[in-house]
Amino acid sequence: MSKEEGLRTQPPPTAGASTDKVSLRACLTVVGGFFALFCGVGFTNAFGIFQEYYKTNILPEHSASAISWIGSVSIFLAYILAPATGVVVDRYGPTPLIIAGGVLELFSIFMVSLCKKYYQFFLAQAIVFGVATCFLTLPPISAVSRAMPSHRGLVIGIVVGGSSIGGIIWPIMLERLFSNPSLSFGWVMRIVGFTMLPLLVFASATIRDHPKNNQKTVPTASENSESDTPSPPPNPNRPASQWRSSVLPILKSPVFLLLSIGLAISYLGMFLPFFYIVSYATSSIPSLPKDIPFYLASIVNAASLFGRTVPGYLADRYFGHFNLLFAAVFLSGVVGFTWTAADTLAGIVVWCLAYGFTSGAILSLQSACAGKIVGLEKQGLGVGLVMGAVSVGSLAGAPIGGSLVGSYGYLGLSMFTGATLVAGSLFVGAARLGLDKKIFAAV
């Protein structure tokens, strides 16, 4: 078997085709992962609230683009550190990183409560929180993907759905706390920290690597492929040359490269609505009550929850992960082009629902696609390499968006969002055709 053949994916298993057991331990890992992403990425999804609050109350002398760097660098670190994090997960399991991520995240939140100046916010909320988010994101995704490989799309969707629920609850919670005159900014952040504490403790106690010898799949015509094939746990003491031999075939795979390039381009614009939907509504409809725009961030994330779970289930059972990922990226771009056409409250709400659903599917299906290209032993590495590839796009996107708003208004932001997503979908579509040129095949 050639290295290239070893990186080709299999069609999604049909119902009943898998004999891997759904154990209580695996279910607890899924729940723990849900809470980990609720506190990590879910809180990052609420940065639009901080963007508006900092600009209005704490950092009025700084531009929107400068403030957006706080959120962008946080997302960048969560992704750029993913390849190294994936190696650690594959060798030592997810638990040490989950514990470290929980400690760092709480430290970050309590430090933000003491911040007064821009550089302080940058260090605490961008640097420390970004590293913590990485440690709380990839390990649970890798763990649940190994625990239930034949249900990969669904369980990853549930875990990533924790970030959507966080994106619903955190903005509403923050808006209500910020509007309470008896609470200072410092105490708002301390309340957030104490809310996260028991959830992170639960995640640290429940996220464990699934025993490899309990994972079985029914052989298929391509059973020689290492994708979805159980393998012994990696030996931490193996030579570095063996580790390189496991990485290079992934990096040399045209399918993997096309997938990574497509997602990297897409990430340039994908998060812009999450950052700027509140300020867009405020500027487009000045007569809106002050608290209404803050709920739009929650609406986007509420729709994103369904986008992260429903397509994952459908991909597992019927359509294939790559097919639905291509559709999700392309449709997100189409919706992005229509952003400024929504100029009433009802129109903006409908737009938020549509964009939240399509973009949510990207965030869950990208990990499922990466996991199908590599074997179970390399889940952390494969997902981590994809996350590392998209890090540059996540870093540059929001500041570019801020500059576009300042120079061309929100129409320029809309065009940039749509163009990057549609362009990215072309590479994702090419990756899908690289696996199977049959248009209607479930890949």
- Output the CA–CA distances (angstroms, integers) from residue 46 to 174, 386, 393, 395, in the order listed: 9, 24, 19, 17
Tell me, letter by letter, the H, E, C secondary structure of 295-328: HHHHHHHHHHHHHHHHHHHHHHHHHCHHHHHHHH
Q: How confident is the model at residue 114 (pLDDT cuts 50, 70, 90)?
A: very high
CB 65 within 8 A of CB 402: yes
Helix orientation angle between 379-389 and 391-435, rounded to the nearest 10 degrees: 120
Q: Give the per-residue pLDDT at 302.
A: 87
- State mean pLDDT over 195-218: 75
Beta-bridge partners for 217: 18
Which one, of 288, 358, 279, lies nearest residue 325 by Cα?
A: 358
Provide mean pLDDT across the span 115-132. 95
pTM of the model: 0.74
pLDDT given for residue 249 in this prediction: 74
23-44 average pLDDT score: 91
- pLDDT bin (cut points 50, 70, 90) of residue 230 is very low
What proportion of the chain, given as a percentage, has pLDDT over 90?
Answer: 39
pLDDT at 236 > cutoff 70: no
Query: According to the model, what pLDDT value does residue 10 have?
Result: 44
Lowest mean pLDDT among 196-200, 206-210, 310-314: 206-210
CA–CA distance from 14 to each of 157, 376, 404 (Å)?
18, 19, 46
How does DSSP classify residue 74? H
Q: Are 207 and 33 in contact (CB under 8 A)?
A: yes
pLDDT score of 300 more than 50: yes
Mean pLDDT of 8-12: 44
> Which pLDDT score is estimated for 238?
52
Task: Please give the full DSSP string across 159-193, using - where no structure is assigned.
Answer: HHHHHHHHHHHHHHHHHHHHT-TT--HHHHHHHHH
Q: Between residues 309 and 341, which one has the greater pLDDT?
A: 341
| Position 19 pLDDT exceeds 80 | no
For the chain, give the mean pLDDT.
83
State pLDDT tens for residues 362-393. Answer: 988 888 888 788 766 676 777 888 888 888 88
Confidence category of residue 225, pLDDT binned at 50, 70, 90: very low
- pLDDT at residue 72, rounded to an integer: 84
Q: Which of 3-17, 178-192, 209-223, 384-398 reaches the highest mean pLDDT?
A: 178-192
Confidence tier at 223 by pLDDT (50, 70, 90): very low
Place of tokens 């996220």: 207
Mean pLDDT on 414-427: 96
Better-scored residue on pLDDT, 201 or 376: 201
Higher pLDDT, 440 or 150: 440
Cα angle vertex 167, ends 166, 171, to 5°? 105
**Does residue 245 register a pLDDT over 80?**
no
Give me the sign of the Cα torsion angle 307, 148, 263, 2: negative
Residue 217, pLDDT > 50, answer: no
Residue 228 gets the label, from left (phi > 0), alpha (psi -120 to 50) or beta, of: left
295, 168 contact by CB (below 8 A)? no
Q: Are 7 and 374 in contact (CB under 8 A)?
A: yes
Is the per-residue pLDDT at 195 higher than 90?
yes
More confident position, 55 or 193: 193
Tokens, residue 139 = 């390990």
- Residue 26 scores a pLDDT above 80: yes
Specify the higher pLDDT residue, 261 or 92: 261
- 3-class SS of residue 397: helix
Q: What tokens appear for 181 in the block?
A: 């005159």
What percent of the chain is helix, strand and coil (3-state, nearest 5)?
80, 0, 20
